Amino acid sequence: MKRLAPLMAFMVLVLAACGREDLSTLNPQGPVAEEQFGLMKTAIMIMSLVIVVVFAISLYVIIRFRRRSGDKTIPKQVEGNHKLEVIWTVIPIILLIILGVPTVQSVFNLSKDYSNDPEAVKVIVTSHQYWWEFEYPELGIKTAQELVIPTGKTIAVEAKTADVLHSFWIPSLAGKIDTNPGGNTNHMYFSSPKEGVFLGKCAELCGPSHGLMDFKVKAVDPASFDRWAAAIQEPVALPSDPEVAAAFESKCLTCHAVGDLGGPAFPNLTGIGSRESVGGILVNVEADDKKYANEDTVYNNLYKWIKDPQEVKPGNMMPTVDLTEKELEGIAQYLSELTLDYEQ
Amino acid sequence: MAHAHAHGHAVKRYSGIMDWLTTVDHKKIGILYLIAGGFFFLVGGLEAILIRVQLWKPQNDFVGADTYNELLTMHGTTMIFLAAMPLLFALMNAVVPLQIGARDVAFPFVNSLGFWTFLFGGLLLNVSWIIGDVPDAGWTSYAPLAGTTYSDDHGMDYYVLGLQIAGIGTLIGGINFLVTIINMRAPGMTFMRMPLFTWTAFITSALILFAFPALTVGLAALMFDRLFDANFFDPAAGGNAVLWEHIFWIFGHPEVYILILPAFGVISEVISTFSRKRLFGYSSMVFATILIGFLGFMVWAHHMFTAGLGPVANALFSIATMLIAVPTGIKIFNWLFTMWGGSIKFTAANLFAVGFIPTFVMGGVTGVMLAAAPADFQYHDSYFVVAHFHYVIVGGLILGIFAGLHYWWPKMFGRTLNEGLGKLTFWTFFIGFHLTFFVQHFLGLMGMPRRIWQYLDGMGFNEMNMISTIGAFLMGFGTIFFIINVVVTAVKPKNAANDPWEDGRTLEWTIPSPPPEYNFAQTPLVRGYDAYWKEKMDGHSGMTPAEPIGPIHMPSPSILPFFMGLGFFIAGFGFMYAPDWGHFLGTDLTNGHALGIFGLAIVLICMLLRSVIDDHGFHIEEEEILKDLGGKA
Amino acid sequence: MSAHTHVEGGLPHEPEKATLEGRNKVLGFWLFLGGETVLFGTLFAAFLALRDQVLDGPTPDHLFDLKLVAAATAILLTSSLTSVFAIQAMHQHKVKALINWLIVTVVLGACFLGLEIYEFYHYVHEGHGFTTSAFSSSFYTLVGFHGAHVLFGILWITLLIIQLARKGLTVVTAPKTYVAGMYWHFIDVVWVFIFTVVYLMGKVV
């Protein structure tokens, strides 16, 4: 066991090096994921030990007791061995106790409900095919796709769905919780001590675009968060070009909202120009930083999305809106400039 | 059984295709299960290959998003219900009656009925590909996605009705094996002398009996929701989506043990035979099997840790799940110590069995990891889970089935599979398997959810997915090598000895390969565990008979089971399309309803005929048996 | 089996267990009833989970008429008793009594079914249809599954009465009759639970 310890430590290091910092469960960025990773490490170490023992015995047996050709001898027929059988019953039980005790502790620890904690930021997460709605009931804010949180604060999540089952997962910050229909809401909490953008995923099959139902969690310092909360509630002006404005009002605001205009049924677009991505998966980058097929400038991403939403996310609820090329470009331009200035 | 006064009933013995359609012989039904299960295994395998091709690179467009969900749903459903279970039933049918010294199963007619309902259910499910409305809500088919609001084509109807019909076949098959094992054992074959494969078949059948009715109810409720606007799982009308999860997993978790226990049994037989050694710790193996079966019913909610059941439930189900590791561990070490001190011969069958042990352990330990609820919040519905259950089901069950097929092939067909091709099958399949699924553990831990059609570039998933796809192709090649082996073997002469491995320990190796219709010319007298081995060690060449040679009574073949399966198929099809087709002769019923009722009428009429017409069976006369014995001597 | 040629006088006391086929049938049927128990258990669980989801439909308290249901219960329990008499007659090889008691059982079962159909008809008129709410769907499914079992039992036992009348009591017909009796008892037991869980608890809670 003593000799194995450094080996185990090494393995954990290797594991921790796996994957992106903003996505991997092996590289936790917050206390909840940290606690879960701790339990995973305990389990992985115990299980590696089991595997090593079984592999060692297997190898030894396979090599040592292989039949030589022509060997007609009959090995001794052993019925069993009580001592051995007790050993391999008791040792697993001990190993399971070592794993079981922290598991139970952690189950209760992670089930704490912070929804009545005045220090916590309350967020109601509502999942839709295939986007995420984030409501801050205390602040009167409803936004979509990008969950902005203050660093260091506990985020108390109340999760539910507007249609089918989904599951809310931010691998590097916290494990997932299902979003159930019909008033059966679930609670979870997490926090991020560090600033940064973390990738969120839907983890329950919810239809064709289940794999594309990504969102972002953006942790900013508390002062920036306050500025963001104020900025997102500011009124928003319509596009300056009256033709584009008319199209935007009659064809976009029927479903979407910006500022205090429009309808609440589909993703709120306030500040969409400063979000990390369009539609959760078209990542916004500067024109020169384009690296992957799903990366482009905000404008291009918006243009691409509005032109044919079904091409980007098959089966989503947004139809191809009948727009002239000028209206399309004008709306994409307008939305790309619809930014919130809150970071320093 | 056999009456000294033989009757003059006409001997009904069909040949050719009619023989296969009407057979009630467990050995032939085993072969039918093998062919049908093998066919569906290829279908499910092809679906798997398509899934892996879609995922070989980021943002691939090889198949559309809808098609992808159809593929993953049908792959899971087909592999579990239409490939794995029938292949196990193939082995159970072929072997269990022989291992207990019986001439047939308890209910030969029901046995045939079980096969045909399974086959027609499976065909109904797969007709969806031809019609174009394919189930697409996952093999778990969680509501409300599986309800009419979000799946408004007939895809999910095929799932509900196809599985319901196939499930009937499985359930009656389970009852049949329970009664067979309890009532039909040869003299001296006490429970604690039964070969372990028979024991696992027994426990698996008990699990089927108590698990499948829950699925029946779940599917019926979902069917009522879909076809008759009931509200079980519709939240808008007070229904409860989590209720479906509970019902599905109360069935679904025991189902996992239904699949794996017979594989445990196969491994026990194969390892013991090819180590030339008695199974180590037989009674603790039996005890562990029973315990696993029992605990299997207590742990369903570990599939629902993230559903919000609360900390008390999560803690209890965590601990209960971990407990299963103890009996499973007992089994692993008993296998290892069966080999310890033995004289191990690495035939193709034994390669699969020995390869099973470390592979299954890897699947087992990830199972214990998943049992820790808070950590499961991270693993759940990620590729880690995909890796885990493929290690258990492919690395466990499929390796077990391959081991069993190579081992019992001579007994089933009278021809031994080619060893070289068998070993080639093993190495390609085994290496391909580990390539495919080992990396998936890490994909999951790195944040890749399961059941996703595309992943974005730059997530760090690319290389491992590529490796996984390459591995899947290797598994495909392994399967092709097996098929080549089957074909090559089929044209060889039928010359397998009674005990082709020469180290056979159990009763099936005391009779010809393949056995005559009546299995045992004289019912054997069993004098201990490993009945045949005991006789060998005592210097006897065969079993001591428990009865004199006499005429043997056999059940008549019957075409009714085939028509009952067909009736269910027609009924399912009719009810599914009831809302779409016009009204029947101006009544409230639609033509679909009429067709459905017609199908059910076929079933009921067949049942009526079965009840009214007494099955006298027929006798195989002494002369014929003596001729068989002489021919083989 | 060949024993169907035996004269009735040659039958053993328990003719249902005289042959291996008969013993298999009885054991297999016990196991089948084990599966049926899980089936109804799951239906009860679904009903209990959904019984409060009444929505706009009538509440169980308002809906159920205990007098009618109590009468149906009494009829079904009596039919269980008459089926016991039938099996007793079978063990005494009194074919005529056996057939008569089976006829009484079937008639009582039909009365029960008639009352149930009347009850459902009445409920639908009260606004408690199959699609009204989750409560109504689970109610009709649970009670309806039971009703379908009763219907199947009636048809089955009727068929057996005809066979007994034509073929007499043999080691082939005896196990069939015996398992039909087991089935009928099982249906009764399920009904006792339905009466308690659905009707009495619906009135009280």
* pLDDT tens-digit series, residues A175-196: 999 999 988 999 999 999 999 9
pLDDT above 50: residue B633: no
Q: Are A96 and B326 in contact (CB under 8 A)?
A: yes
Amino acid in position C16: E
Q: Which of B327, B372, B334 is nearest to A93 (CA)?
A: B327
C contact residues 143-172, partner B, Cβ 8 Å cutoff: 159-160, 163, 167, 172
Q: Which residues contact C123 (CB under 8 A, 6 or more apart)?
A: C63
d(CA B540, CA B537): 7
Question: Which of B179, B222, B606 is the best substitution to test chain C (most C C-beta atoms within 10 A)?
Answer: B179
- pLDDT tens across A289-301, in order? 999 999 999 999 9
Question: Which of B24, B229, B231, B610 is the best substitution to test chain C (most C C-beta atoms within 10 A)?
Answer: B231
Collapsed DSSP state (helix, strand, coil) of residue C129: coil
Residue A73 lies in a domain: no
Q: For the domain made up of B16-558+615-632, give the CATH fold.
A: Cytochrome C Oxidase; Chain A (1.20.210)
- pLDDT tens across A91-134, in order? 999 999 999 999 999 999 999 999 999 999 999 999 999 999 99
Residues A176 and A157 in one domain: yes
pLDDT at B45 (0 to 100):
97
pLDDT above 60: residue A70: yes
Residues A97 and A127 in one domain: no
d(CA B291, CA B269): 20
Sign of CA dihedral B354, B357, B358, B363: positive
Q: What is the CA angle A181-A187-A192, rounded to 5?
A: 125
Q: Report domain extents, chain B.
A: 16-558+615-632, 559-614
Positions of E strands within chain A = 121-128, 131-136, 141-144, 146-150, 155-161, 166-170, 174-179, 186-190, 196-202, 215-220, 257-258, 261-262, 277-278, 282-284, 295-296
The owner of tokens 């450094």 is A6
When divided into structural domains, chain A yields a total of 3
Q: Report domain extents, chain C.
A: 14-49+75-204
pLDDT band for position A265 (cuts 50, 70, 90):
confident
Weakest-pLDDT range from B10-14, B273-277, B585-589, C131-135: B10-14
Chain-chain contact of C134 with B106 (C-beta, under 8 angstroms): no
Chain C hits for B234, CB-CB cut-off 8 Å, are 134
Q: Which of B305, B256, B443 is nearest to A103 (CA)?
A: B305
Chain-chain contact of C27 with B183 (C-beta, under 8 angstroms): yes
pLDDT at B262 (0 to 100):
97
Nearest-CA distance B62 → chain C (Å) = 42
Q: What is the mean pLDDT of chain B?
A: 94
pLDDT above 90: residue C203: no
C7 shares contact with chain B (CB less than 8 Å): no
Q: What is the CA radius of gyration of chain C?
A: 19
Q: What is the mean pLDDT of chain A?
A: 92
pLDDT at C1 (0 to 100):
39
Chain-chain contact of B145 with A201 (C-beta, under 8 angstroms): no
B614 shares contact with chain C (CB less than 8 Å): yes
Q: Within 10 A of A82 (CB to CB), how many other CB atoms are there?
A: 9
Residues A47 and A82 in one domain: yes
C133 shares contact with chain B (CB less than 8 Å): yes
d(CA B601, CA C160): 19
C10 shares contact with chain B (CB less than 8 Å): no
Residue A234 lies in a domain: no
pLDDT at B83 (0 to 100):
97
pLDDT at B579 (0 to 100):
76
Residues A190 and A277 in one domain: no
Chain-chain contact of B216 with C32 (C-beta, under 8 angstroms): no
Q: What is the CA radius of gyration of chain A?
A: 27
Question: Which of B306, B318, B344, B538 is the best substitution to test chain A (most A C-beta atoms within 10 A)?
Answer: B306
Q: Which helix (H) or strand (E) holds B379?
A: helix B373-379
pLDDT above 50: residue B224: yes
pLDDT band for position B628 (cuts 50, 70, 90):
confident
pLDDT band for position A12 (cuts 50, 70, 90):
low
Chain C hits for B239, CB-CB cut-off 8 Å, are 50, 53, 134, 137
Peptide linkage before A130 cis (omega within 30 of 0): yes
Q: Return the number of CB contacts < 8 Å for A and B.
A: 311
Token digits for B531?
């009945």
Peptide linkage before B144 cis (omega within 30 of 0): yes
Q: Are B498 and B524 in contact (CB under 8 A)?
A: no
- pLDDT tens across B7-55, in order? 445 556 788 899 999 999 999 999 999 999 999 999 999 999 999 999 9
Predicted-assembly ipTM surpassing the 0.85 threshold: yes
Domain of residue A216, residue span: 121-221
pLDDT band for position C2 (cuts 50, 70, 90):
very low
B70 shares contact with chain A (CB less than 8 Å): no
B364 vs A69, which has greater pLDDT? Answer: B364
Q: What is C14-49+75-204's CATH superfamily?
A: Cytochrome c oxidase, subunit III, four-helix bundle (1.20.120.80)
- pLDDT tens across B121-163, in order? 999 999 999 999 999 999 999 999 999 999 988 999 999 999 9
pLDDT at B614 (0 to 100):
85
pLDDT above 80: residue B631: no
B64 shares contact with chain A (CB less than 8 Å): yes
- Nearest by CB to A51, from B362, B455, B458: name it: B362
pLDDT at B12 (0 to 100):
63
- pLDDT tens across A308-317, in order? 999 999 999 9
CB-based burial, B378-414: b 16+ in 10 Å, e otherwise: bbbbbbbbbbbbbbbbbbbbbbbbbbbbbbbbbbbbb
pLDDT band for position A1 (cuts 50, 70, 90):
very low
Chain-chain contact of C39 with B217 (C-beta, under 8 angstroms): yes
pLDDT at A276 (0 to 100):
94
Residues A201 and A269 in one domain: no
d(CA A287, CA B535): 82
Residues A217 and A126 in one domain: yes
Q: Are B251 and B216 in contact (CB under 8 A)?
A: no
Amino acid in position B282: Y
Strand arrangement, sheet containing A295-296: A277-278, A282-284, A295-296
**Residue A60: HSE in the Cβ half-sphere, 13 Å Cα cutoff:** 10
Residues A175 and A82 in one domain: no
Here the CATH number for the domain that contains residue A164 is 2.60.40.420
Q: Which helix (H) or strand (E) holds C47?
A: helix C20-50
pLDDT at B321 (0 to 100):
96
Question: Which of A88, A95, A198, A292 is the best substitution to test chain B (most B C-beta atoms within 10 A)?
Answer: A88
pLDDT at B8 (0 to 100):
46
Q: Which residues contact B227 (CB under 8 A, 6 or more apart)?
A: B157, B575, B576, B578, B579
pLDDT at A17 (0 to 100):
61
pLDDT at B158 (0 to 100):
95
pLDDT at C95 (0 to 100):
94
Q: Mean pLDDT, to the nearest integer, of B233-238?
A: 92
Nearest 5°: phi and psi at B590?
-95, 170
Strand arrangement, sheet containing A174-179: A146-150, A215-220, A196-202, A166-170, A174-179
Amino acid in position B309: L
Nearest 5°: phi and psi at A141?
-110, 140
DSSP secondary structure code for residue B308 in this structure:
-
Nearest-CA distance A131 → chain B (Å) = 15
Chain A hits for B142, CB-CB cut-off 8 Å, are 164-165, 204-205
B224 shares contact with chain C (CB less than 8 Å): yes
Q: Which residues contact A342 (CB under 8 A, 6 or more apart)?
A: A220, A224, A225, A227, A228, A231
Residues A187 and A263 in one domain: no
Q: What are chain C's partners, defined as 3 or more CB pairs within 8 angstroms? A: B
Chain B hits for A281, CB-CB cut-off 8 Å, are 456
Here the CATH number for the domain that contains residue A49 is 1.10.287
pLDDT above 80: residue B587: no
Q: Are B507 and B102 in contact (CB under 8 A)?
A: no
A45 vs B2, which has greater pLDDT? Answer: A45
Residues A103 and A142 in one domain: no
Q: Mean pLDDT, to the nearest integer, of A252-272?
A: 91
pTM given for the model? 0.94
